[in-house]
Amino acid sequence: MSKIFLCAINNILSGNCNEDCKFCTQSVRYKADIERYKFKPIEQILKEAKEAKVNGAIGYCLVTAGKGLDDKKCEEVAKIASTIKQNIDGLNLIACNGTASIEQLKHLKENGVDSYNHNLESSKEYYPKICTTHTWQERFETIENAKSVGLKTCVGGIFGMGESVQDRVSLIDSIVSLNPESIPLNFFIPNDSLPLKSRNIEYQEAIEVIKSVREKLPNARIMVAGGREQMFTTTQAELEMFKAGANAIVIGNYLTVKGLEPKLDRDRLEDMGLEVATNCNE
């Protein structure tokens, strides 16, 4: 089993999205009880990035709420990325800012962004049932744009949103067709404010999802992200998750949901006899 890659997320612009994605508490339509704010001060973002590096994170993801980039948002993310790169060595800097044009992605790359994350979320067939304000195809094309400018890509989805087994197969096949370097696998976390009220995936099904992705993309980084703590509730369950093919996790908090303390994750990995990667090539 390879060493485990740790990634941290920073929600640098939160809770102001006008889209109607039924799985997302950052949509203003559902009035979820979350923290909402404009761009964090760059000094705060830099401080949090340094803390993540100390906690063992190699990947660091800058996330903004909203459908995608406009010129103003793109410039702000580029400035933040450049500042982080100038002050912290050894971070694989990931931007996660929704749909983006080739020109915008080039600008991010020129300012220090290494990877672009935009998840497909579900199968093409199921997507209209969970979002009507933009198309699945826009998501797919954004990753094609990122690849075209030489960015590494990070593409995954959310499982347990009411989709069928065939939808899961279709989603995985679409991810495989993009051949991303990293694949974040999320498991839906219900919230009373959302139209989607329950999760329809169980532990063993989640293990099968991981195995399927690993079989089809043997060299990719498979990252278990949102919903990990709710799906893999014991050390043994998490060990089975890694044995199934996962080799990366998100540490710390997610976008609007609290995660485990990074030290607790590090201690659990040590208890399982797993080593933490110290660079992107391990």
* 144-195 pLDDT tens trace: 999 999 999 999 999 999 999 999 999 999 999 999 999 999 999 999 999 9
Domains of the chain: 5-267 (3.20.20.70)
pTM above 0.85, yes or no: yes
Given a cut of 60, whether residue 3 has pLDDT beyond it is yes
Give the per-residue pLDDT at 253: 87
3 state SS for the chain: CCCEEEEEEEEEEECCECCCCCCCCCEHHHCCCCCCECCCCHHHHHHHHHHHHHCCCCEEEEEECCCECCHHHHHHHHHHHHHHHHHCCCCEEEEECCECCHHHHHHHHHCCCCEEECCCECCCCCHHHCCCCCCHHHHHHHHHHHHHCCCEEECCEEECCCCCHHHHHHHHHHHHHHCCCEEEEEECCCCCCCCCCCCCCCHHHHHHHHHHHHHHCCCCEEEECCCHHHHCCCHHHHHHHHHHCCCEEEECCCCCCCCCCHHHHHHHHHHCCCCECCCCCC
